Amino acid sequence: MQFGIIGSGTWATALAKILTDKGNSINWFVRSERIVNHLNTRQHNPNYLSSVYFDKNKLRLFTDLNEAISASDHLVAAIPSAFVIETLQKTSAGKLQNKKVISAIKGILPENNLLLNEYLANEFNFPQENYFTVMGPCHAEEVAAEKLSYLTFSGVDIKATHEIASCFTTEYLNTIVNNDVMGVQFAAILKNIYALGAGIAHGLEYGDNFQSVLIANCADEMAGFLQRAGVPHMEVGIHSSQDHKVSPNYAASVYLGDLLVTCYSLYSRNRTFGNMIGKGYSVSAARLEMNMVAEGYNASKCIYAINKRVGADMPIADAVYKILWENLHPRQGFNKIEEVLV
């Protein structure tokens, strides 16, 4: 397989490390000529995970998206969701024909409230069987430090999904496979919203006791949304030793595990963003202060709109949305959340 990576941020750099550590050569689309020159001469990304050094013999660097696509048969999309449409408008359906796309995007396209596979199907007539996802729980910083982590790969073609996952398995990275393409994407979107909520709670000086109750309720709320959205098997323990790697499961790492680490970890940019809001920063000031995109900010608005169709009971996500987008005071928002926690 010839992998191409679209993006040069923290997560894209971590995925580039995983693939090259496995022995794969990669075609890496990097918009900035300066970063390309730095990678060529000094073998590391100057902006993100700068401690990670690459074997330059395994890198082919491109500033032209279509050249990177043409050189690859598997494309790993690892850019913030807010920049997806702008980036993909530079290519065409013909360029993506017979390619496999692996989404590492943990957000929803804010222009139209679509998942990446939905956008590709609508705009590029891209077939679902050639679309895969790679989701957490996995912080890029721990990948850089080679701390044991897990990634879940999802695809409707399970054989192809296993083959892709095998290219990412290293001594510090274990892989899991399931077929829940829609559910893992929505879970990744929702956990960022809930991590914002956990950060706001921390900024408001709620303690660990409250956080545990909050996150437990977030997990239940997320499972309820996934069920209403059509994802099966969202109850605890619905799997067996024979099929647990292909059946969606509420308690599995890509659902509950990713929620926990994003809500608790100091590496979580969504938790950090929320913490600033809880401490009194305005949304605009917090966005300026952050050097990286907090996906949960746009996601909260997107999910609020999508849930008008889905109809799930989501008081926590609704409160986070209203704090970020409707100027609800964080303290008032959490007073309302306190009333619904069980």
Q: What is the CATH number of the domain that holds 196?
A: 1.10.1040.10
Same structural domain for residues 264 and 215?
yes
267-319 per-position pLDDT tens digit: 899 999 999 999 999 999 998 888 767 899 999 999 999 999 999 999 999 99
Same structural domain for residues 330 and 258?
yes
For residue 235, is pLDDT > 90? no
Q: How confident is the model at residue 241 (pLDDT cuts 50, 70, 90)?
A: very low
Same structural domain for residues 48 and 107?
yes
Report the number of distinct structural domains present in the chain.
2
Same structural domain for residues 44 and 99?
yes
Same structural domain for residues 211 and 174?
no
Average pLDDT of the chain is 92
CATH number at residue 143: 3.40.50.720
Same structural domain for residues 106 and 193?
no
Gap between the Cα atoms of 64 and 98, Å rounded: 20
Last residue of a domain, one of 152, 179, 206: 179
Give the burial class of 311: count Cβ atoms within 10 A of its Cβ; 0-12 exposed, 13-18 middle, 19 or more buried: exposed
87-133 per-position pLDDT tens digit: 999 999 999 999 999 999 988 999 999 999 999 999 999 999 999 99
Give the burial class of 77: count Cβ atoms within 10 A of its Cβ; 0-12 exposed, 13-18 middle, 19 or more buried: buried
Beta bridge partners of 175: 151
Same structural domain for residues 152 and 199?
no
pLDDT score at 147: 96
209-227 per-position pLDDT tens digit: 999 999 999 999 999 999 9
Same structural domain for residues 203 and 315?
yes
Same structural domain for residues 247 and 133?
no
Structural domain of residue 305, as residue ranges?
A: 183-340
Last residue of a domain, one of 121, 144, 179: 179
* Element housing 164 (H / E): helix 158-166
Same structural domain for residues 73 and 49?
yes
Same structural domain for residues 137 and 194?
no
